[in-house]
Amino acid sequence: MAGTKDDFEFMTVKFENESFKNKLSIMVALRRFEQDENFFDFLDNVIKNHTILLKVQAIKILFESNMDRLFSYKESSDKNIAVAYNEVVDLNII
């Protein structure tokens, strides 16, 4: 069952102040929500501003849902984004 827009907003607002473990849980739960621009903007924010493990999780979600956004990180000059991108893409090619 998909969550509501209010649920999505609540989870993404709370995200910043949560523990690492809770952030991972929130990201898994967000897969239930409609994948609209707000959803992808949230993932972009995680990829650009959070730890490498959260970047990997966000890129995994992009791999499953939006290849255009995924490929936008292919040539990233940010070393951590490049590592996370390669981790996801290399693992899923095999």
Assign 17 to helix, strand or coil: coil
Cβ pair 14, 26 in contact under 8 A: yes
Stretch 16-38: mean pLDDT, rounded? 90
Q: Give pTM, 2 decimals.
A: 0.87
The first and second tokens of residue 61, run together, are 């979600």
Give residue 90's pLDDT band: very low, low, confident or very high (50, 70, 90). Answer: confident
Total domains present in the chain: 1
Nearest residue to 74 (alpha-carbon basis) of 54, 92, 58, 89 = 89
Task: Give the model's pLDDT for residue 93.
Answer: 57
Task: Give the model's pLDDT for residue 7.
Answer: 87
Give residue 91's pLDDT band: very low, low, confident or very high (50, 70, 90). Answer: low
Task: Give the model's pLDDT for residue 66.
Answer: 92
Assign 73 to helix, strand or coil: coil
Q: Residue 62's domain spans which residues?
A: 5-93
